[in-house]
Chains A and B, each alone.
Chain A
Amino acid sequence: MAGLATTFGSGAMTNSINEIPDAEMLFLIGTNTTEAHPVIGYKMREAKRKGAKLVVVDPRRTDLARIADYWLRLKPGTDIPLLNGIMHIILQEGLQDQQFISERTENFEALAKTVKDYQPDVVSSITGVPVEDLYAVARLYATTDKAMLFYTLGITEHICGTDNVMSIANLAMLTGHLGRPCTGVNPLRGQNNVQGACDMGALPNVFSGYQKVIDPVVRAKFEEAWGVSLPENPGLVIADMFEKAHTGELKAMYILGENPVLTDPNSNHIRSGLEKLDFLVVHELFLTETAEYADVVLPAASFAETEGTFTSTERRVQRVRKAIEPLPVLANWQTVIKLSQRMGYPMSYATPEEVWTEMASLTPSLAGINYQRLESDGIQWPCPTSEHPGTAFLHAGAFTRGKGLFQGIDHIPPGEVPDDEYPFLLSTGRILYHYNVTTPYSPGIHSMWSEEASEMNPDDAAKLGLATGDKVKVTSRRGDCVTNILVTDRVPPGMLWMSFHYANSPANALTSAVLDPVTKTGEYKVCAIKIEKI
């Protein structure tokens, strides 16, 4: 998000899901769409059936890599040299969109200067991708009119996540693939309401609609609406919260609907941070691994027990409707209100709709959306007025920040790479059948997929004397865990791939402590491990 916010002025999927079947080319980098976003994956397969060209960049042979026209099996953490190499070829062959560059962007010279050094043969040796594939993909993308770029956490969960994103944005601007249907830079947001949680200002530096807390005019608006004076300094991001818990500066936390012990990287560090807090409140559906550390656990209501809205990856605000009464009696919005009351700050909302109405009145990009308008199809923001139809694709005519900002970006290797002591590379991700750490609580799902199956290349399995179903102990510099092995050539030699869904094989006990310096996102995709048969 930070990457696109820098380049374009707003960090969100630029285009819409239902443009996919009409695209002529899909360029996927770091997204295993058919497993992480299955229904979007269906639409990609449909586009392919209708004749679209498919390019998949991924170290793993994902389902879409199997049917791709070009599968670029890059070495993990070499996305920037790959993208720079592709841009080098585009410029070398004069395939860039010169009109778009001169009318819609700035700082092109910096990009041209940087990518000049990324000769195809150099890039090939860094990334492991054959030179002829680099040429083919560069030509295909530059010369295809309706070409959509997609990425997910395979791009962002790196030490250079923000730089990776800006490199993708560079490529789209270089070829003019923005501001029209069936084009764009399309990050597929992970959870059901990542987009919404960001839009609502559940971030330490912005209020709803990305209005900055350091802006005195914005702060004055919220102070007047809320009747209190508000802090002017940005707050802590998650990684810093746990640092401050360790140093004793952070004393109390309230955690709603998150399980950082299983989902955040380097989980032993998270556990010890939680232990140091004076007071922890966890508001959850289940007594999770994180809730075990709480002083008070509040029972939460699920999505089926509340009215409200979610905002999908394509910026579409849609209704969530109450089907059954809240099991804990109080819905989550009611709990927060009751707590606020006791703290001496009454909040007087009778319904979630009233919460939305207040938020929309303070948030220009969502001001035109109300529950009546959401009744049938939802609305895609920006939607500034009640007459505005919503926005299917962003950046038509101009970018949010005015001109798109090219940046020259150089390769940054992963923070931890395999060595003699920890000779394997661990990468992590999602599988089709689970969603983070909620689905193990689904009796149906759990009955069919109850154990981790870490993917290992047949060459490595032969060397270690392992077969599918064998158990191994996996150790990194930060922790260890036990997992079953699945022998498959989906992964390249030297890599072990794990999901992070299972409490009894907690992959995040192993993952790296390295963070992207801008977003403080963990490098979940690369760390060094050793593997022992048990």
Chain B
Amino acid sequence: MNLVKLTINSREVEVQSGTTILKAAEKIGIDIPRLCYDDDLSPVGACRLCMVEVKGARSLVPACVTAVSPGMVVETESPVVIESRRTTLNLLISNHPLDCLICEKLGDCGLAEYCYKYGVKESTFQGERHDYVIEENNSFIIRDLNKCIQCGKCIRACDEWTGIHNLDFIYRGFDVKPATALDSTYVDSECVFCGNCVTVCPTGALTEKQMKRQGRRWEVQKVKTTCPFCGTGCNFDLNVKDGRITGVTANRTSIVNGRALCVKGHYGWDFVQNEKRLTTPLIKKDGEFMPATWDEALDLIANRLKGIKEQYGPDAFAALSSARCTNEENYLVQKFTRAVMGTNSVDHCART
């Protein structure tokens, strides 16, 4: 493999040929702004925020899709680059509701982050603005295309991660937007509600309904864990605020699934906080369940199991453990059955 030497912001870097300017810059710790680029999606060079100055080039070039060449001299934050970024941001927010005070994405919004960085407060462009109805007719995803910047990441996540191609750009010019076939709502389309489009969206155009007004992005603690549904073993972050789960977000370091999730892992966690959850032991008296303390319940169980073991022998007892519970819980249940009750009759439903 050929190595290529180039200079970025007066610093030399050597990378393999074919590497983009954006990745070469990352190698020496230089972060080039980007909205449509994502490490886990194919690059398209659409948002023009990663434009950099290359000495001798006729114009600025997009760093996310331009390969390095030997001796290249790149400036990523020169006055002309900054001017270009300001103009791009100015154009992007010319048709973007600046309701950041109540926007769910604030704190995790690429557009707000770069406007902050380059001091773009409001747009100097006046003109027509979109007035799309906010789509909220499903339980998981709020779709506010007024905030869409047409980066196309949702389209690529649907194609390249989920693989169903439910989204593509429709219309032309000012009206262009990512849409389902026939521009129907997600519910009326082939959407499988994996929420991978929400994961990659850099603005407030796609947000998690479950997280609405449950806490600012910087207030939640993220706890990486393993999904409790199927056997794939996806990892994700439980978002926690004030002792309650507010939602699930993808975690970049998940080795099996990357940031891809399905509807159950992304949105099915809320059984945990269902109000029907049992919180206290119940003892049946005269056919009715009555709340009991842990001591009462455990004493009763211990006495009855001891009595049955003494009267009928260990094999009068059996335990069903669970393929939904942890390894440690399963180990303890089989140990309890074998060592305490004295029988090998422990099983679970998924033996095949």
Structural contact, B321 and A39, CB atoms closer than 8 A: no
19 examples of A-B residue contacts, CB within 8 angstroms: A37-B231, A188-B231, A188-B232, A194-B323, A200-B327, A202-B334, A230-B339, A233-B344, A234-B344, A235-B318, A253-B318, A304-B238, A310-B326, A314-B256, A318-B235, A340-B340, A356-B327, A435-B264, A439-B268
Structural contact, B278 and A322, CB atoms closer than 8 A: no
Other-chain contact of B278, A309, A328, A344 (Cβ < 8 Å): A328
Give every chain B residue within 8 A of A297 (Cβ-Cβ): 278, 281-282, 289
State whether the Cβ of A299 lies closer than 8 Å to any Cβ in chain B.
Answer: yes
A444 and B340 in contact, given A45-B163, A285-B278 (Cβ under 8 angstroms): no
Interface-forming stretch among A133-141, A400-408, A516-524?
A: A516-524
Structural contact, A316 and B233, CB atoms closer than 8 A: yes
Structural contact, B223 and A321, CB atoms closer than 8 A: yes
Chain A 201-226, CB-CB to B under 8 Å as 1, else 0, gives 11111011000010000000010001
- Chain B interface residue number, banded: 35 or more
Structural contact, B345 and A355, CB atoms closer than 8 A: no
Structural contact, A345 and B340, CB atoms closer than 8 A: yes
Other-chain contact of B227, A192, A321, A340, A516 (Cβ < 8 Å): A192
The 9 closest A-B pairs by CB, nearest first: A312-B233, A308-B326, A45-B163, A257-B322, A235-B344, A235-B345, A38-B262, A342-B302, A299-B278
A203 and B298 in contact, given A36-B230, A37-B231, A253-B317 (Cβ under 8 angstroms): no
Q: How far is the CB of B108 from chain A (nearest CB, A)?
A: 19
Q: How far is the CB of B216 from chain A (nearest CB, A)?
A: 18
Give every chain A residue within 8 A of B227 (Cβ-Cβ): 192
State whether the Cβ of B22 lies closer than 8 Å to any Cβ in chain A.
Answer: no
State whether the Cβ of B284 lies closer than 8 Å to any Cβ in chain A.
Answer: yes
Chain A 370-381, CB-CB to B under 8 Å as 1, else 0, gives 000000111000
State whether the Cβ of B101 lies closer than 8 Å to any Cβ in chain A.
Answer: no
A251 and B317 in contact, given A49-B163, A195-B231, A309-B326 (Cβ under 8 angstroms): yes
State whether the Cβ of B330 lies closer than 8 Å to any Cβ in chain A.
Answer: yes
Give every chain B residue within 8 A of A253 (Cβ-Cβ): 317-320
A202 and B333 in contact, given A39-B260, A236-B345, A323-B223 (Cβ under 8 angstroms): yes
Give every chain A residue within 8 A of B243 (Cβ-Cβ): 324-325
- On A, residues with C-beta under 8 Å from B are 1-2, 17-18, 36-42, 45-46, 49, 153, 156-157, 161, 188-205, 207-208, 213, 222, 226, 228, 230-231, 233-238, 241, 244, 249-258, 260, 263-264, 278-279, 281, 284-287, 294-300, 302-306, 308-314, 316-325, 327-330, 332-333, 335-340, 342-345, 347, 352, 355-356, 358-359, 376-378, 432-435, 438-439, 441-445, 447-448, 516, 519-521
A39 and B234 in contact, given A203-B347, A263-B349 (Cβ under 8 angstroms): yes
Structural contact, B192 and A204, CB atoms closer than 8 A: no
Structural contact, B327 and A39, CB atoms closer than 8 A: no
A120 CA / B344 CA spacing, docked (Å): 46
A359 CA / B240 CA spacing, docked (Å): 31
A193 and B339 in contact, given A237-B351, A299-B280, A323-B225 (Cβ under 8 angstroms): no
A233 CA / B338 CA spacing, docked (Å): 11
Structural contact, A432 and B263, CB atoms closer than 8 A: yes
Give every chain A residue within 8 A of B320 (Cβ-Cβ): 238, 241, 253-256, 258, 260
A311 CA / B328 CA spacing, docked (Å): 11
A330 CA / B272 CA spacing, docked (Å): 15
Give every chain A residue within 8 A of B312 (Cβ-Cβ): 251
Structural contact, A286 and B274, CB atoms closer than 8 A: yes
Give every chain B residue within 8 A of A327 (Cβ-Cβ): 277, 279
State whether the Cβ of B336 lies closer than 8 Å to any Cβ in chain A.
Answer: yes
Measured CB to CB, the nearest residue on chain A to B139 is A444
Give every chain B residue within 8 A of A226 (Cβ-Cβ): 335, 338-339
Measured CB to CB, the nearest residue on chain B to A294 is B284
Structural contact, B162 and A442, CB atoms closer than 8 A: no
Structural contact, A340 and B336, CB atoms closer than 8 A: yes
State whether the Cβ of B161 lies closer than 8 Å to any Cβ in chain A.
Answer: yes
Give every chain A residue within 8 A of B279 (Cβ-Cβ): 299, 327-328
Chain B 296-318, CB-CB to A under 8 Å as 1, else 0, gives 01111110111010001011111
State whether the Cβ of B325 lies closer than 8 Å to any Cβ in chain A.
Answer: yes
A236 and B342 in contact, given A257-B322, A284-B278 (Cβ under 8 angstroms): no
Structural contact, B350 and A194, CB atoms closer than 8 A: yes
Structural contact, A205 and B319, CB atoms closer than 8 A: no
A39 CA / B179 CA spacing, docked (Å): 23
Other-chain contact of B339, A251, A325, A345 (Cβ < 8 Å): A345
Give every chain A residue within 8 A of B289 (Cβ-Cβ): 287, 297
Structural contact, A256 and B333, CB atoms closer than 8 A: yes
A322 and B223 in contact, given A258-B320, A287-B289, A294-B284 (Cβ under 8 angstroms): yes
Q: How far is the CB of B218 from chain A (nearest CB, A)?
A: 18
Structural contact, A319 and B225, CB atoms closer than 8 A: yes
State whether the Cβ of B261 lies closer than 8 Å to any Cβ in chain A.
Answer: yes
Other-chain contact of B276, A305, A356, A441 (Cβ < 8 Å): A441
Structural contact, B231 and A347, CB atoms closer than 8 A: no
Q: How far is the CB of B214 from chain A (nearest CB, A)?
A: 13
Q: How far is the CB of A181 from chain B (nearest CB, A)?
A: 16
A332 CA / B263 CA spacing, docked (Å): 27
State whether the Cβ of B118 lies closer than 8 Å to any Cβ in chain A.
Answer: no
Q: How far is the CB of B95 from chain A (nearest CB, A)?
A: 32
